[in-house]
Structure 1
């Protein structure tokens, strides 16, 4: 960032600044990760007019300030942009020049009392599910992790006009990020996923990808995983270390 920084008598004093200009310095997939901001700030001289007794803070003349840490609300957006870039590189297919590609998957449902390999739960207790294939078990795991898009159900086998086996079709993806971009990106471009009998889980061509407005992609599903897996530093511990360091230097 670019700032016109005034001289201050006390570090941390608040400033009155006016934003003069703002430009995007680094942009990935339509998401700005770094801004170049120019501020025009008034020069201000401050004095420390406060008294602290133990843990109690007193403001003597009513014109005190507090230094507080502010959370960067753009972190999740920036992180999702970087994650999307990584997924695009990982899923790129040199054969057909497509990114964010998925795979067609399906599961079978037999009449009541027999196996239902499309069940969303109960895999550990249902003996009939032992007849399900490894691909169907993998699909069940993917559904639980929100890595799939359901395309519909159809009759896969009939006897005397009676359906004895149904199938459910899905597009299955390696990551939640790919699923989100496929689902919402194709909706933006008016593209579909084929039919329930003939799924089309192909990714985007470079030309199609350029038409996707990533600023309109809802990444809330990804944010949940990001926040759940994030290990934040202990800010009190960091502050204590800084105080100890300054204390050592002043001795």
Structure 2
């Protein structure tokens, strides 16, 4: 018979942790988006004594642990944080000192049925869509990729009091991450997107960005793309 006495470090929450130092690692427009925090933590260890008889293992004290490796559930959260930093840098507008910026976009449709450049589908076989502009075609692609926020519809042209052309307004973004942070961040700060006729898709000022609670941002849309593109 053979006695095995493995030792492992406990991966759960440590007994006590004390913050030793905190420094800003990534800063944009005076706002710290990522910190390096040094913690002094007590490490716990435990031992399990097992008895091996032939090919059978027994726990002497009845308190054996499972050594199976488990996936880190915080990976998506960490990856989304890194992506947010990247998007903040890419979407930075030096002209008005804002981050996570978008652009106003719109599409037209004629109630008579001649063309509907706001259609969500049918672009490949609807002959009426040939009249649509490149901007409207680009907007259609962005809607399909969930890169837009719809602001509403209004009448853009009337004849004898009858509306003959309507427009739909959107805020369009270069990435899903920017759209998510704009949509939920502005809601937190009670900021709007302007009006249907005059959209405001500008990003956050340094002061506004500092007030956004990123822990309350729902990144589930981004996680879907992350998991779909992940190579295991």
- Equivalent pairs counted in the alignment come to 231
Question: CA separation in 1, counterparts of 2:2 and 2:156?
Answer: 64
**Aligned partners of 2:184 and 2:52: how far apart in 1?**
54
Query: Contact conserved, 2:115 with 2:131, CA < 8 A, in 1?
Result: yes
TM-score by length of 1: 0.72
Unaligned runs of at least 5 residues, structure 1 = 232-251
Q: Considering fraction of residues, name the structure with more helix.
A: 1
Output the aligned Cα RMSD: 6.5
Distance 1:223 1:190 in 2: 25
Instruction: Rate the CA distance shift 1:10–1:206 in 2: closer, same or farther, 3 A.
Output: closer
Instruction: Note the alpha carbon deviations across 1:213-234, whole angstroms, 9 max, x for none.
Output: 1111111111111111111xxx
User: What is the Cα deviation at residue 71 of structure 1?
Assistant: 2.1
Structure 2: gaps spanning 5 or more residues = none
| Residues 4, 40 of structure 1: 8 Å contact kept | no
How far does the alpha carbon of each residue in 1:114-150 deviate from its partner, in whole angstroms, 9 at most, with x for none?
1100000111111101111111010000001100000
Written as runs of structure 1 = structure 2, the 5 A alignment for 1:112-127 is 112-127=112-127
TM-score (normalised: structure 2) = 0.77
Aligned CA distance change for structure 1 residues 210 and 47 (closer, same or farther; 3 Å): closer
Is the Cα–Cα contact under 8 Å of residues 92 and 99 in structure 1 kept in the other structure? yes
Distance 1:162 1:77 in 2: 51
8 Å CA contact 2:22–2:37 kept in 1: the answer is: yes
Against the structure 1 CA distance between its residues 14 and 103, is the aligned structure 2 distance closer, same or farther, given a 3 Å change threshold?
A: closer
**More displaced, 216-225 or 58-67?**
58-67
TM-superposition CA deviations, 1:138-184 (whole Å, max 9, x none): 00000011000000000001111111000000000000000000011
